Structure 1
Amino acid sequence: MGLFRKDPQTVRLESHEVEPRATRPPWSLWADGFGRLGIRSIQIIVMVAVVAGIIFAIQQLTLVTIPLVIALILACAFAPVMGWMRRRGVPPLLATVLTLLAIVVLLTGIGWLIVWAVRDQWDELYAEAVRGIEAVIAWVQTLPFAPDQEQLDEWLASVLDFVTSAQFGSGALAGVSAVANFVTGFVLMVTILFFFLKDGPQMWEFLLRPFRGEHYVRARRIGDKTVGVLGSYVRGTALVALVDAVGILIGLLILQVPLAIPLSVLVLLLAFIPIVGAVLAGTVAALVALVANDWVNALFVVGVVVLVNQLEGNFLQPFLMGRSMKLHAFVILVALTIGTVLGGIVGAVLAVPIAAAAWGAVQVWDGPGLPARWARPKHPIEPQRR
């Protein structure tokens, strides 16, 4: 019997033999590393195609999607008012009508105040800003490394070609079509906002019907978080914009900068575009001060703008919106770029609240105050001390 006994090493080698490649099932090719990489690649391609299709549909239906998003954000902003009136026993229809009328009156009043403040000075503000740019260009040309006049003329011609191009003009300079689209979009926004205010919770419950169990609880949690984030963002941004405008107006009046009221109105409007809006408004104010007064006064204006923005970013925004909603500056810039490319100025205004709502959903994905697993902070394991 000993002649037929196999060596132990031979037995181990035979036990680790795999079945021949020809007898493997076809799907086993996806089980190794390259197979998993191929599956992930296909998934990424499908996701990119779906996102591209959604973006294309949004671009083709901006007359519907933009009023829809604006109505959703406004409904979230006034959700506490609707909830308060419903808890006091006010009928849903009456509460909706009162809230909608308050929104329309508020927006109309703000628009009228803006027009009243700048209607006689807007052309002068534009002219002063242009003269300020010309003064800066003249100063730059005195530097040893400054571009020559031919390069400056070429850059200016490129900007003018973009502004007067058919593609830009068809969307921004077609007056009759733009007015018609604005009126249509405004009426559609008010109509959608009425139904969001009146039947918003019922609409959300209808959308949640396919979900069951933990998925339903998660969807409800994400919905509540989204409403809270969008509402807090809009209310907080509006208050921050008002404080910024008043603070910069006081500073401009103290420094005796002309056109202080239209400049403060510009600050109020551009405050809804984070980072970029404050920089642009401060630049225009400094250019006006440079032309009207001198470069020392312009530096003081820049100091006032920086001081107001620092107070806003470090104290006012965290108090009004909470630090959990604060997005990184890199994320804000990326969101602004994507929003501007897709929707112009309106897209730039809506990009940051949408990004904040998406991040808020991630923050409650696995539970109240429990972010998704991939979004949780990683704490390195410290080596044990001997």
Structure 2
Amino acid sequence: MPMTAPDSPASSASPENGGRDPRLEVAFGVRVAAWWSVCFVAIIVALWLLVRLLNSISLVTITVTVAVMITALLEPAVRFLHRLGVPRALAGILVFVLGIVGLSFLVWFVVTQVTDSSELIQNELQDAAETIRDWLINGPLELKVQDAEKYTTNLGDTLSEHRDTIVNGFLQTANSAIAIISGSVFCLFATLFLMLDDGAIFRWFVRIFPPHTREHVAEGGVAAWKTLTVYMRSLVLLAALNALAMVPVMMIAGMPLVVPLAVLLFLGSLVPLIGVLVAGAVVCLIALVANGITSAIVVGIALVLVVQLFGNLLNPIILGKFVNIHPLAILVTVTAGTLVAGIFGAFVAVPLVAVINNVAHAVRQHHRSLPGNVAEPAGDANGSAGDAAGDADGATRQEA
């Protein structure tokens, strides 16, 4: 049924009985809104089913995702060696071995530091809770003892009492130690195959689609891989810079547990916004217990300056304009990813959104570059103004 305007001649009479068609008595805007609502609900249902499917095979989902992200981090080194004349297979094996050894050493170092210092960090945080409790009671707020303990001491005791439950719940996501080992082996083999692959997997994936859409899929795949490669390089580099820059600050402040706290800052920086906020809060609390309120304020200011300096100056240089997401979108994305898939969801949420955004933009650009389509109008770096005008013009041409 054509969507004609309510006041057009076609909508005034029905060809069957000569009267008004009751379907066209609904306002045109309402019909458009209804179709949009149906499409939106269909998309939400499809996404929900996809999330349920991926969650039902979470071991495969997590291991393949981690393998792809590790490959995106190491694959530029393979290309560099290949340009120097090293055969592709040999370059892939060399980078895989060196990369896995380096990552294994990093994981071992992090685990040992966290394990050896977990009791000390817990005691320091408990002391920080006591310090804050005394300030709430005896400070300018003058809270009641019960209210102060509800926000400090009782909260710390609750976290300490349920620590085993939290750890067990984390381990239950992998079902058993065998699942963790099998997932790790699967991830290593998947990473090796991806490192040795020279685009064969992607070409096979493109051939699945209908012939008239393969060029669009190829353009989207190139944009997705470039986005993921640039993002992973930037993420690890900025996380390392944040942690290393805070080491001399913590040493000058005379804080304990400098190395474990630097490791904590590195891990927290891997999760945009939320991760570094949590890690920074822990660092400031330990500075409060060790050296008092002045040291905590100075360390907090230094941490904010370091994160802002590297985030605003180095991040645009490393990422360019290829991965450009508004901070509010990052916050919403990380929060949604955490609610859906926990820590893993928070880690992959931002690169997933960046990939989807750049793939959509690359497909639109490729479509407009085809003969007979409208060229990309001049606009800003992201082409937002041109996208809207081009989409409207393209829709008009298709209807005509």
Question: Hey, what does 2:13 align to over in structure 1?
Answer: 18
- The answer to whether residue 206 in structure 2 is matched with residue 208 in structure 1 is yes
For the aligned residue pairs, the C-alpha RMSD in angstroms reads 3.6
Identify the match of residue 316 of structure 1 among 314, 317, 322. 314
Structure 1 stretches of 5 or more lacking a match? 1-13, 381-386
Based on CA coordinates, which of the two structures has the bigger radius of gyration?
Answer: 1
Query: Amino acid of the residue matched to residue 285 of structure 2?
Result: L
Amino acid at match of 2:133: I
Q: 1:39 aligns with which of 18, 35, 38?
A: 35
For the structure 1 residues 162 and 214, does the alpha-carbon distance in structure 2 shift closer, same or farther, using more than 3 Å as the test?
farther
- Rounded to whole Å, the distance in 2 between the matches of 1:81 and 1:210 is 30
Which 10-residue stretch deviates more, 154-163 or 168-177? 154-163
Match of 1:377 in 2: 384
Instruction: Give the TM-score normalised by structure 2.
Output: 0.79
Q: CA deviation at 1:53?
A: 0.3
Percent of aligned pairs sharing the same letter: 25
Decide whether aligned partners of structure 1 residues 162 and 173 sit closer, same or farther in structure 2, where only a CA change above 3 A counts. farther
Structure 1 residues 323-371: Cα deviation after superposition (integer angstroms, max 9, x where no partner): 4413111111111112212222122112111122122223323227969
Selected match of 1:153 from 150, 155, 163: 150
Q: Which has the higher contact order (CA 8 A, sep 6+)?
A: 1
Instruction: Provide the rounded CA distance (Å) in 2 between the counterparts of 1:307 and 1:268.
Output: 16
Q: How far is 1:126 from its partner? A: 2.1
1:288 paired residue number: 286
Change (3 A) 1:117 1:163: closer
Match of 1:208, SS? helix
Instruction: Pick from 95, 98, 106 the counterpart of residue 94 of structure 2.
Output: 98
Shift of 1:20: 6.0
**1:169 shift after superposition:** 6.3
Distance 1:15 1:69 in 2: 54
Pick one of 44, 49, 64 that aligns with 2:45.
Answer: 49
- Stretch moving more, 92-101 or 158-167: 158-167
Show the counterpart of 1:64.
60
* 1:219 to 1:30, Cα distance in 2 relative to 1, 3 A: farther
The equivalent of 2:392 in structure 1 is none
Tell me whether 186-195 or 139-148 shows the greater mean CA deviation: 139-148
Q: Residues of 2 paired with 1:18 and 1:65: CA distance?
A: 56
Q: Distance in 2 between matches of 1:329 and 1:147?
A: 38
Q: Deviations over 1:216-266 (max 9, x none)?
A: 222212111111111111111111111111110011111111211111111
8 Å CA contact 1:29–1:35 kept in 2: the answer is no
CA–CA distance in structure 2, aligned partners of residues 355 and 159 of structure 1: 38
Match of 2:130 among 128, 134, 139: 134
| Paired amino acid for 1:153 | K
Corresponding position: 1:109 with 2:116? no
Q: Aligned partner of 2:150: which letter?
A: D
Look up the equivalent residue of 2:64 and give its one-letter code: L
- For residues 276 and 314 of structure 1, what CA distance do their matches in structure 2 show? 17
Q: 2:270 aligns with which of 249, 269, 272?
A: 272
Task: Write the distance in 2 (CA, Å) between the matches of 1:109 and 1:223.
Answer: 32
Residues 254-265 of structure 1: matches in 2 within 5 Å? 254-265=252-263
Q: Select which of 237, 245, 248 maps to 2:246.
A: 248
Q: 1:68 to 1:294 in 2, by over 3 A?
A: same
Letter in 2 for 1:18: A
Rounded to whole Å, the distance in 1 between the matches of 2:143 and 2:122 is: 26
Counterpart of 2:13, as a letter, is V
* Structure 2 stretches lacking a partner, 5+ long: 1-8, 370-375, 389-400
User: 1:339 — aligned with what?
Assistant: 337
What TM-score results when the alignment is normalised by the length of structure 1?
0.82
8 A contact 1:162–1:168 mirrored in 2? no
Instruction: Give 1:195's aligned residue.
Output: 193
User: Which deviates further from its counterpart, 86-95 or 69-78?
Assistant: 86-95
Distance 1:166 1:265, change over 3 A: closer
CA displacement at 1:83 relative to structure 2: 2.6
Report the counterpart of residue 118 of structure 2 in structure 1.
122
CA change 1:169–1:251 in 2 (3 A) is closer
Distance (whole Å) between structure 2 residues aligned to residue 33 and residue 175 of structure 1: 47
